[in-house]
């Protein structure tokens, strides 16, 4: 009967890891689907824009969701240095989505009031193209991440790794959930090399111990390790 104790512990850790892996996959998949929805709405808005029709309803949807999209994109949505069309200055760490959407609206109004001069059209086209390109780059990268997460969802060794990591980082998570630690600090510690190494070693030792216990029996195994 005691033989089942380590097996039950390992199975519980693997189950926790599977749940964590599934939640991670689901979160990344939802992010990718949202990005595709945002891109489709953006393209529909821009298609109408170049027909001299400013779709206020689409613009409001994009504007309402721009902060969420910007946060999801992370570094993909930030230009290290950006020079607005017609300007003589550069903006550092320019947030493309949240800043460029209002700029499209302003450029369109200037274009209408300026009788649609060619350089105003070019400025508008450059801004529109820039947003589309960063969205496409992000969606491409995110799609690869989703595929990797899907593969990990089928790998029991990954479930074990994630289960052990969840248990090891639980005290750190408690500090974060209680508000005593910022997310940036929590994320840095959780993804630290030594934390990952400790998680790997604990998982490896637990797996080997379970196999040995199943093969030799619980009591002989206790005698082997000196308990």
Question: SS in 3 state form for the chain?
Answer: CCCHHHHHHHHHHHHHHHHHHHHHHHHHHHHHHHHHHHHHHHHHHHHHHCCCCCCHHHHHHHHHHHHHHHHHHHHHHEEEEECCCCCCCCEEEEEHHHHHHHHHHHHHHHHHHCCCCHHHHHHHHHHHHHHHHHHHHHHHHHHHHHHHHHHHCCCHHHHHHHHHHHHHCHHHHHHHHCCCCCHHHHHHHHCCHHHHHHHHHHHHHHHHHHHHHHHHCHHHHHHHHCC
pLDDT at position 221, please?
Answer: 44
* Confidence band of 140 (pLDDT split at 50, 70, 90): very high
- 169 burial via Cβ count (<10 Å: 0-12, 13-18, 19+): buried
Rounded mean pLDDT, 185-197: 62
* Confidence band of 167 (pLDDT split at 50, 70, 90): confident
Of 14-23, 27-36, 84-93, 216-225, minimum mean pLDDT range: 216-225
pLDDT at position 47, please?
Answer: 93
The 10s digit of each residue's pLDDT in 155-164 is 887 887 788 7
Tokens of 214: 């199943």
Rounded mean pLDDT, 114-133: 79
Rounded mean pLDDT, 23-40: 95
For residue 141, pLDDT over 50 is answered with yes
Q: 90 vs 192, which has greater pLDDT?
A: 90
Of 47-56, 114-123, 203-212, minimum mean pLDDT range: 203-212
Rounded mean pLDDT, 1-14: 70
For residue 138, pLDDT over 90 is answered with yes
Rounded mean pLDDT, 109-131: 77
pLDDT at position 224, please?
Answer: 47
pLDDT at position 16, please?
Answer: 85
Is 213 in contact with 8 (CB distance < 8 Å)? Answer: no
Best CA proximity match to 61, nearest among 79, 42, 43? 42
Rounded mean pLDDT, 120-148: 91
Domain parsing of the chain, residue ranges: 4-202
For residue 207, pLDDT over 60 is answered with no
* Residues above pLDDT 70, as percent of the chain: 66
């Amino acid at each position: 009967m005691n033989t089942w104790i380590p097996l039950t512990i390992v199975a519980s850790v693997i189950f926790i890891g599977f749940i964590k892996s599934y939640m991670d996959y689901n979160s990344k998949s939802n992010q990718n689907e949202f990005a595709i929805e945002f891109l489709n709405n953006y393209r529909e808005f821009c298609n109408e824009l170049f027909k001299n029709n400013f779709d206020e309803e689409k613009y409001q949807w994009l504007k309402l969701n721009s902060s969420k999209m910007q946060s999801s994109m992370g570094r993909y949505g930030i230009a290290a240095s950006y020079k607005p069309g017609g300007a003589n200055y550069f903006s550092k760490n320019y947030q493309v989505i949240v800043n460029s959407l209002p700029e499209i609206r302003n450029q369109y109004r200037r274009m209408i009031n300026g009788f649609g001069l060619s350089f105003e059209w070019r400025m508008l086209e450059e801004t529109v193209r820039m947003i589309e390109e960063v969205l496409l780059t992000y969606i491409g990268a995110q799609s690869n991440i989703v595929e990797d997460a899907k593969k990990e969802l089928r790998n029991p060794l990954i479930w074990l790794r994630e289960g052990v990591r969840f248990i090891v980082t639980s005290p750190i998570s408690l500090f974060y959930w209680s508000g005593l630690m910022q997310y940036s600090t929590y994320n840095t510690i959780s993804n630290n090399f030594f934390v990952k190494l400790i998680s790997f070693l604990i998982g490896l030792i637990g797996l080997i111990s379970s196999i040995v216990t199943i093969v030799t029996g619980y009591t002989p195994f206790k005698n082997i390790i000196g308990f």
